[in-house]
Amino acid sequence: KAGVTQTPRYLIKTRGQQVTLSCSPISGHRSVSWYQQTPGQGLQFLFEYFSETQRNKGNFPGRFSGRQFSNSRSEMNVSTLELGDSALYLCASSLDGRPTNEKLFFGSGTQLSVL
């Protein structure tokens, strides 16, 4: 079974641009969540999608948005990029994502650099 796939692996953008990151979950998984990882702030929760609906959202500005498609693939978009958006963006998938000890499977992330 293929794991969680994130594309692209690396991305370089300039301030003011927008970017779209993609995440393909493990087949059969319906929950996809996104995390931002930076050296200063560590890992922070962005949002979680289940069956094409955003079910939970972290404390990030409206420039950060996402969506999920009917095949459970998810995209996140960051508009008007700022230098502070430089980070590793991790996607995780699980069967239904409810707050149990359900195992989350992470991708290898997209490293975004904003110049």
Partner 1 sequence: AQTVTQSQPEMSVQEAETVTLSCTYDTSESNYYLFWYKQPPSRQMILVIRQEAYKQQNATENRFSVNFQKAAKSFSLKISDSQLGDTAMYFCASRSYSGGSNYKLTFGKGTLLTVNP
Whichever of 5 and 79 has its CB closer to partner 1, that residue is 5
Dig out the tokens for 34 from the structure. 């996104």
Measured CA to CA in angstroms, residue 7 lies from 28, 42, 106, 109 at distances of 19, 21, 13, 8
112 binds partner 1 (CB under 8 A): no
Shorter beta-carbon distance to partner 1: residue 16 or 61: 61
Specify the residue, 56 or 71, whose C-beta has the smaller distance to partner 1.
56
- Which stretch in 12-20, 68-76, 78-86, 104-112 sits in contact with partner 1 by CB under 8 A? 104-112
Residues 16-75 that bind partner 1 (CB under 8 A): 31, 33, 35, 42-45, 48, 55-56, 58
12 binds partner 1 (CB under 8 A): no
